[in-house]
């Protein structure tokens, strides 16, 4: 399973990249705003900075909600850097734009997916990645992991090549369960990745080894 980090914070991206296990980055307008990145030119320059840090795909989201606007913005984003993946909303014109980009060899990520039907449409349109938001489903007392499971089954049934990018991952168990279900990618905050490092028996075991070493040296 690929590990993406969901942030616009360059420090977090650098820390995840330094671990040697980072496969890509996802961002959105909310994450940009959180880091104080505003204005079209500043946002584009920030995407370039992210691409300079990582070697994998970087999802950059369009703001337009109409087909022509999404194509214009998406082509500008794709021309920024070869690692850019154009992130499109799960709406009718988003599906149309996805098909257009797919036909023209531009990678896409269909975002804000909350149902199997939406994921099916995105795959039919040739999306590189589809992003079901499991955490947001959990927030409304719906098991988001069931959505990942159902999408996996349908994609396997028909051999769709779109990669399931489990989004809105909140914690380490989301990561583990997505891996169990066969999600191709997960994207979450730095804490969901670094949290996998932790186990009390590892800490106590290492402390014991060091203690015993000091006794004889």
Concerning whether 87 is annotated as a catalytic residue, the answer is: yes
124 phi/psi in degrees, rounded to 5: -60, -30
Nearest to residue 44, comparing CAs of 57, 31, 61?
61
Q: Among 34, 48, 49, 87, which one carries the catalytic annotation?
A: 87
Angle at 197 between CA 3 and CA 141, to 5 degrees: 65
- Kindly report the backbone phi and psi dihedral angles of residue 89, in degrees, each rounded to the nearest multiple of 5, phi listed first: -75, 150
Closest CA to 156 of 178, 126, 127, 123: 123
| Phi-psi region at 141: left, alpha or beta (left = phi > 0; alpha = psi -120 to 50) | left
Residues noted as catalytic: 87
């Amino acid at each position: 399973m690929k590990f993406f980090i969901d942030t616009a914070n360059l420090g977090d991206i650098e820390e995840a990249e330094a671990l040697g296990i980072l496969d890509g980055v996802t961002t959105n307008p909310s994450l940009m705003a959180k880091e104080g990145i505003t204005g079209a030119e500043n946002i584009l320059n920030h995407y370039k900075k992210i691409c300079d840090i990582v070697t994998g795909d970087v999802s950059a989201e369009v703001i337009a909600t109409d087909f022509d606007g999404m194509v214009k913005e998406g082509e500008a984003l794709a021309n920024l850097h070869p690692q850019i993946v154009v992130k499109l909303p799960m709406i009718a014109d988003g599906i149309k734009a996805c098909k257009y980009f797919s036909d023209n060899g531009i990678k896409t990520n269909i975002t804000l997916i909350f149902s199997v039907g939406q994921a099916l449409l995105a795959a039919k349109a040739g999306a590189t990645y589809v992003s079901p938001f499991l955490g947001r489903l959990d927030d409304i007392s719906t098991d988001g992991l069931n959505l990942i499971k159902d999408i996996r089954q349908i994609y396997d049934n028909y051999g769709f090549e779109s990669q399931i990018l489990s989004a809105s991952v909140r914690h380490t168990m989301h990561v583990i369960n997505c891996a169990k279900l066969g999600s191709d990618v997960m994207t979450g905050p730095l804490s969901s990745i670094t949290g996998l490092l932790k186990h009390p028996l590892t800490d106590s075991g290492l402390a014991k080894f060091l203690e015993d070493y000091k006794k004889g040296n």
